[in-house]
Amino acid sequence: MSVERVAIIGLGLLGGSLGLAIAERLPKIATTGFDADPQVRQRATERGLVDRVCDTPAEAVASADLVILCVPVGAMEAAAREIASALPAAAIVSDVGSSKQSIARALGAALPDQAVIPAHPVAGTERSGPDAGFATLFSHRWCILTPPDGADATAVATLTGFWEALGAKVEIMDPAHHDVVLAVTSHIPHLIAYTIVGTASDLEDVTQGEVIKYSAGGFRDFTRIAASDPVMWRDVFLSNREAVLEVLGRFTEDLSALQRAIRNGDGEALFDLFTRTRAIRRAIIDEGQDDARPDFGRGDH
Ligand SMILES: NC(=O)C1=CN([C@@H]2O[C@H](COP(=O)(O)OP(=O)(O)OC[C@H]3O[C@@H](n4cnc5c(N)ncnc54)[C@H](O)[C@@H]3O)[C@@H](O)[C@H]2O)C=CC1
Ligand SMILES: O=C(O)C(=O)Cc1ccc(O)cc1
């Protein structure tokens, strides 16, 4: 099945980037969009994030053959209910949410008769909103599809082809497995960044402003991640609670072991861990998964 009309619900970083990427790489596709925030609709119109910004969600999806929900995880179900009665029967509904099990449940309940194929492009930045989007966000990035059991194979193939045409690499994954993997690689790292930046800020009384003044590269990298959108990340942690708590338990144990090594002066344990983690970084770079953008990670884009 070929995609001719895509509707994007939510025109922030992900929705805006999707609209721009389609315009650049799949210019024959007509795009419509809706955002619940009128100011976002205004900016989306000014930036040309989609071909037509609509005043209602129903209008945006009325003739779409693919609808992609790009709203915070906690708003997915409401967004799905808002389009339910206007969706063409043959339209595929997908999303870009950062956790997958809770979204699968929510979309399945809101759209029981629709082909729903949840997805997660593992591509983003700490920025949000309609001014943050850019056309190359998904280039050479993974997009993980988590089709439910018995999902329509044609719909999965169509969505796979769509994301590949935008430059992404597609992987099919079980939703529960996705949530554990992303808890390890994305959700807990964000939690750690939020924690260390919060702790450093709480310690400002003791350090008298020196945290900010002397913030070196490592701390700056954490502040970039900790600047990520509060609504989005609140929803990620609430929706992926089980996997996050499971991985956090393991992380806390490993942190305690490090604490013990430092207290005991066990340099060998510290050296062994740091050697192992350095090799992991090298492996990621060799696989070409680090970001090629020169300013990435410096918090100034
Ligand atoms: N920010 C990132 O780096 C990444 C985010 N994601 C996921 O993408 C989704 C969107 O995130 P961002 O684009 O970063 O957020 P964003 O905050 O930039 O954009 C979300 C937009 O959704 C709109 N919205 C909220 N409820 C709505 C509703 N019921 N109907 C219509 N519009 C509604 C908001 O007004 C906002 O403009 C989230 O589910 C997030 O987990 C996935 C990969 C990366
Ligand atoms: O900016 C960063 O470092 C990110 O980690 C971006 C990101 C955030 C959330 C996702 O679900 C996927 C990617």
Residues in the chain: 301
Burial of 130 (0-12, 13-18, 19+ CB in 10 A): buried
- Cα separation, 19 vs 166, whole angstroms: 11
What pLDDT digit, counting tens, does each position of 247-281 carry?
999 999 999 999 999 999 999 999 999 999 999 98
pLDDT of residue 301: 34
Task: Considering the chain, tell me which residue range(s) the CATH 1.10.3660.10 domain(s) occupy.
Answer: 177-265
User: What is the rounded average pLDDT of the residues 202-227?
Assistant: 81
CATH of region 5-173, choose from 3.30.1330.10, 3.40.605.10, 3.40.50.720, 3.40.250.10: 3.40.50.720
With cut-offs at 50, 70 and 90, classify the pLDDT of residue 290: low
Q: What is the ipTM of this complex?
A: 0.99
Task: Considering the chain, tell me which residue range(s) the CATH 3.40.50.720 domain(s) occupy.
Answer: 5-173
* Among the ranges given (98-102, 132-136, 291-295), the one the predictor scored with the smallest mean pLDDT: 291-295
What pLDDT digit, counting tens, does each position of 37-76 carry?
999 999 999 999 999 999 999 999 999 999 999 999 999 9
- Cα separation, 20 vs 44, whole angstroms: 10
User: What is the rounded average pLDDT of the residues 19-32?
Assistant: 98
Statement: residue 215 has pLDDT above 90: no
User: Edge-to-edge, what's the strand order for the sheet holding 169-172?
Assistant: 119-121, 142-145, 169-172
Counting ligand 2 atoms within 8 A of each CB, the residue from 17, 102, 122 with the most, and so the one to mutate, is: 122
Query: How much distance in Å is there from the Cα of 62 to the middle of ligand 2?
Result: 31
Answer yes or no: is the C-beta of 193 below 6 A from any ligand 1 atom.
no
pLDDT of residue 300: 38
Answer yes or no: is the C-beta of 124 below 6 A from any ligand 2 atom.
yes
Structure tokens at 295: 């300013």
Pick left, alpha or beta for residue 150 (phi over 0 → left; psi -120 to 50 → alpha; otherwise beta): left
- Please give the residue that has the higher pLDDT: either 222 or 294: 222
Query: How much distance in Å is there from the Cα of 95 to the middle of ligand 1?
Result: 10
177-265: CATH topology? 6-phosphogluconate dehydrogenase C-terminal fold (1.10.3660)
Answer yes or no: is the C-beta of 75 below 6 A from any ligand 1 atom.
yes
Query: Positive or negative, the Cα torsion across 232, 295, 184, 223?
Result: negative
